[in-house]
Structure 1
Amino acid sequence: MPTSVGYGWHLDGLTAWLATLNSCAPGVLTVNVDNGFGAGVAAARIARRAR
């Protein structure tokens, strides 16, 4: 998962955001840059539905 810093010339998160958008595929969840908590919540919801 990209972060807004340490990802080349970060441009306040723009570089990581564009990389995330370019790697999107149908059926794949994408969260905002630096949103590890949101990604964890989404993963937990998906796991609950899979049961």
Structure 2
Amino acid sequence: MSRQLNRKFGAIDPSILERLQGLTKAQLEALGEDFLDFSDISDLEACFNR
């Protein structure tokens, strides 16, 4: 997932990468679907806060 984020948004803050590493497989799969609708990195941050 981090490679896709880097490709779409550029360098990703290390704190975001740490949060990604803590996700379960199910959470990563859901995030992968949501990722298609992200327009900027704040959409990912909002997803984390849900």
State the TM-score, normalized to the length of structure 2: 0.32
Structure having the higher Rg = 1
TM-score (norm 1): 0.31
Q: Return the structure number with greater helix share.
A: 2
Query: Using CA pairs below 8 Å that are at least 6 residues apart, which structure has the higher relative contact order?
Result: 2
